Amino acid sequence: MSDSASFRDFFGGRAIPAEPDTNLCRTCHGADTAQIQPKPEAQSKPTRTVVEAHSNNCRSAVEAVSNKLLDSLDKGILYVRVPYADISPRIVPENMTDEQVLFLTDIFPTGWSAIDWAQLRGGEVVAIFGSGPVGLMAQKAAWLNGASRVIAIDPLNYRLEKARKVNNVDTLNPHEVDVIEAIRDMTGGRGADVCVDAVGFEPERTIIDRVKTTVNFEKGSIKVLEMAFLAVRRSGTVSIMGVYGSTYDNFPLHRIFDKGLTIKQGQAPVLNYIDKLTGLVKDEKVILDDIITHRLPLAEAAKGYEIFDKKEDDCVKVVLKP
């Protein structure tokens, strides 16, 4: 029986132990590691996905995060079998604090992925739509990969202020300027070499946007993605880290074709990057914890989610303390 089969039986109500299929690749056949406990003698941090295919049977890298597993834990299930649980945890270097390494498990590798996929050679102008946690990390990654100019776009001025303060980027607010024209003016009329969508399907929307979504049975909007396609130069790259979970009417395929764009998208392959990125933090080549705006006790987790969701108190990133 394969591990995937044992998980199906588990979630059907029976936890059936199973020996792993020896034909499956140990490195890339994995599961969500959110519930892994570190060994007592070592502090460790689990990453959220297990990736990187090494065999024919695992050609498509395992990328799914087991939300169903976490939902089951919330319903009172006490034990969860995690195949190959030793794959993703890493021992934290002694000179690094929890807050220094916390974002290595998710948002920094996510932001890094967006830039790495664009294959910067040095000297590029990178425009990043969204200055939330992932957008801020993408800005850091752009500088580290040789960008000559990084432009942050966001409709919230407190987020743009944070971007300027911690990442030294140029900023544009779509409520104050025509973003597309501004980017073209900043690039000699060409457009950005790389545009990153770090927003996804839940941007700010007008009443007209909401009506269109309802009529077309869509979820959210692709307005940010459309702006990225307009703002990028011909033969440029658009990297999509924002989540999209629906089909969309009037998708601008014609513009992608006409401009000869390269599109990169998907979930971040965290394990491909985490060791390298840990080294960058350890060597003090990048600071990650400067994006934190709120530290709350675990008992106030609901409040943390609320102020972030409602964009209150200039909240950019919440860290919960046990």
Whether 282 has a pLDDT exceeding 90, the answer reads: yes
**Out of 6-20, 112-126, 215-229, 272-286, which region has the weakest mean confidence (pLDDT)?**
6-20
Domain boundary among 89, 122, 139: 89
Same domain, 136 and 52: no
Highest mean pLDDT among 170-184, 216-230, 268-282: 170-184
209 and 130 in a single domain? The answer is: yes
Mean pLDDT of 129-154: 97
* Residue 316 binned pLDDT confidence (cut-offs 50, 70, 90): very high
User: Would you say residue 138 has pLDDT above 90?
Assistant: yes
Mean pLDDT of 3-12: 33
The whole-angstrom separation of Cα 197 and Cα 240 is 5
Same domain, 148 and 259: yes
270 within some domain: no
Mean pLDDT of 42-50: 47
Q: Are residues 84 and 155 in the same domain?
A: no
- Does 72 or 60 have the greater pLDDT score? 72
pLDDT digits (tens, 9 = 90+) for 305-314: 999 999 999 9
The whole-angstrom separation of Cα 162 and Cα 130 is 12
317 lies in which domain range? 292-322
Residues 118 and 230 in one domain: yes
Residue 276 lies in a domain: no
Whether 27 and 119 map to the same domain: the answer is no
What's the whole-model pTM score?
0.75
Question: Could you give the number of structural domains in the chain?
Answer: 3
Indicate the residue among 265, 282, 312 that finishes a domain: 265
* Segment 290-305, tens digit of pLDDT: 999 999 999 999 999 9
Confidence of residue 265 (pLDDT cuts 50, 70, 90): very high
Residues 73 and 138 in one domain: no
Residue 277 within a domain: no
Shared-domain flag, residues 196 and 155: yes
pLDDT of residue 139: 98
Indicate if 175 and 115 belong to the same structural domain: yes
pLDDT band at 247 (very low <50, low <70, confident <90, very high): confident
- Residue 196 banded pLDDT, cuts 50, 70, 90: very high
**Each residue of 106-115: pLDDT tens digit?**
999 999 999 9
For residue 272, tell me if it sits in a domain: no
| Residue 62 belongs to some domain of the structure | yes
pLDDT of residue 45: 53
Q: In terms of domains, do 157 and 299 share one?
A: no
Mean pLDDT in the chain? Answer: 79
Does one domain contain both 122 and 238? yes
Same domain? For 60 and 207 the reply is: no
- Residue 8 within a domain: yes
The mean-pLDDT minimum among 76-80, 121-125, 172-176, 228-232 falls in 76-80
Residue 2 lies in a domain: yes
What's the pLDDT tens digit per position in 210-232? 666 666 656 678 889 999 999 99
Name the domain boundary from 57, 89, 121. 89
SS (H, E, C) the chain: CCHHHHHHHHHCCCCCCCCCCCCCCCCCCCCCCCCCCCCCCCCEECCCCCCCCCCHHHCCCCCCCCHHHHHHHHCCCCCCCCCCCCCCCEECCCCCCHHHHHHHHCHHHHHHHHHHCCCCCCCCEEEEECCCHHHHHHHHHHHHCCCCEEEEECCCHHHHHHHHHHHCCEEECCCCCCHHHHHHHHCCCCCEEEEEECCCCCCCCCHHHHHHHHHCCCCCCCHHHHHHHHHEEEEEEEEECCCCCCCCCCCCHHHHHHHCCEEEECCCCHHHHHHHHHHHHHCCCCCCHHHCCEEEEHHHHHHHHHHHHCCCCCCCCEEEEC
